[in-house]
Amino acid sequence: MSTPPSSDRISSSPPSPVALTLRRRERDERRRREEQYSHGRPLPSQKLCGNEECVLRCCNVFKTSRFYLPDYLLGDKERSVDDILVKDIQTHFAYLAATRIWPSIEKQSDVLLKAQSIEAFAASPPVRAAYLDFRYLCQKNDLNFSIESRLRETLSVTMPRFRSLIETLDTARLDDDYTELVVHRTLQPPHQADKAVQTDRPLPWTQEGCVMRFLLTSELWRCHDERYMRQRGWAWKPWIVAELLSAVLLHYWLLDREKCFERVPCRGSEQCDEVWQDWLDKYPLLGGDSSHDDEEDDEPDQGDSKKSPDLVPKPIGLIKGLDLDKDVGYVGGVGTAARGPLWRDMRQKHGDDGLPQH
Ligand SMILES: [Zn+2]
Ligand SMILES: [Zn+2]
Ligand SMILES: [Zn+2]
């Protein structure tokens, strides 16, 4: 117990009301976190590389305590610089991604479910953090990503490399040491390959390195989310993963350019809890919630309600006055950087306009 810093406090005869309140608040916070874990927030102890002992910051992205507390959080503004609702842009992106990357789904309800899932993933706290990290790394290493074509070029160079990285990780799934090595090599600053000239000082990041780090961080979180929380039986072939994640990065970059984000200094882990709660409320788990047992909860469980009114995103045509692909070019965020947007491919393939009619 520390002594009170100033004399204007009454000497404590425990338990003071303040101490009681604090204790109660701590207990409530702990309970709330437990509840969040059971609904899709990753456990702070989970490491991206899979090694439970790993203390690297790049692997401990789910931790919010002390050393691992992020400096900033990435929040959405209400509207873009063009006065478009940011949440509509997110929905539009997710819908386009769902329909362009999996064009063969026919049932509209399946499309909407998929779009909802993509939106949840793209807007999730770990992806936001990965983007902030990406931007910071680029700035720190004087990498100029202010030109859209430059980012697209880098994405198109990186995508095949990323695809083979996913394949490598798939193959190495049972080899923990190798997985860890590969993950660390991608997430950590590059080092001199030649041992003779090796110094403690890492090499500067390259553009491709920054993109790879974003893609892999997001992918490891996506796999985690899929494995533990959201049973999405989609065809996650490596090229689909690479397409989607590249699209997400480009999408974030475009949102950034259109002034859709605000960077908020992080005050403490409670604020991170807040951010996770918002996300869990907005994107509740789809399907059965039988993965946990709420019987220990001695209070009614607010979080289990699955009747969120915003669960199903509005299809494109229903978002009034919104024509992003035409007016702002957001649709460019979907598709392979190398080949251009996917819808262009589809148009060639089917001989018709791949886009919804306006
Ligand atoms: Zn690690
Ligand atoms: Zn619950
Ligand atoms: Zn449109």
- Going by pLDDT thresholds of 50, 70 and 90, the confidence category of residue 174 is confident
What six digits make up the tokens of 226?
A: 């899929």
| Tens of pLDDT, residues 315-326 | 443 333 444 444
Average pLDDT, the chain: 76
Please state, in angstroms and as integers, the Cα–Cα distance from residue 314 to each residue in 90, 115, 216, following that order: 11, 10, 30
pLDDT reported for residue 299? 40
Q: Which ligand does the CA of 38 lie closest to?
A: 2
- Going by pLDDT thresholds of 50, 70 and 90, the confidence category of residue 227 is low
In the chain, % of residues over pLDDT 70: 70
- Give the separation between CA 95 and CA 59, rounded to whole angstroms: 31
Ion ligand 1: residues, CB within 5 A, are 49, 54, 56, 59
Phi and psi at residue 283, to the nearest 5°: -125, 75
Strand partners, 85: 79
Q: Which ligand does the CA of 358 lie closest to?
A: 3
Q: For residue 216, how far is its CA from the centre of ligand 1 (angstroms)?
A: 13
What six digits make up the tokens of 198?
A: 């090796």
Q: For residue 114, how far is its CA from the centre of ligand 3 (angstroms)?
A: 18
- Give the separation between CA 235 and CA 226, rounded to whole angstroms: 12
Beta carbons within 10 angstroms of residue 79's beta carbon:
16
Q: Domain spans of the chain?
A: 87-194+202-258+278-283+310-350
Q: Which ligand does the CA of 329 lie closest to?
A: 3
Q: For residue 3, how far is its CA from the centre of ligand 3 (angstroms)?
A: 62
CB within 8 Å of 306: residues ≥ 6 apart: 284, 285, 289
What six digits make up the tokens of 330?
A: 């957001």
- Could you tell me which of 65, 47, 64 has the C-alpha nearest to residue 56? 47
Q: What is the mean pLDDT of residues 21-26?
A: 90
Beta carbons within 10 angstroms of residue 269's beta carbon:
18
Phi and psi at residue 213, to the nearest 5°: -65, -40
| Tens of pLDDT, residues 255-304 | 888 889 999 999 999 999 999 999 999 888 765 444 444 444 434 444 43
Q: Can you tell me the ipTM of this complex?
A: 0.60
Please state, in angstroms and as integers, the Cα–Cα distance from residue 189 to each residue in 181, 183, 348, following that order: 13, 12, 41
pLDDT reported for residue 263? 94
- Give the DSSP letter of residue 318: G
Dihedral Cα 156, 239, 217, 168, nearest 10 deg: -110
Q: Which residue has the higher pLDDT, 5 or 37?
A: 37
pLDDT reported for residue 352? 39
DSSP one-letter string for 65-104: SGGG--SEEEEE-SB-TTS-BHHHHHHHHHHHHHHHHSTT
Q: For residue 249, how far is its CA from the centre of ligand 3 (angstroms)?
A: 20
- Give the separation between CA 358 and CA 347, rounded to whole angstroms: 16
- Give the separation between CA 108 and CA 180, rounded to whole angstroms: 40
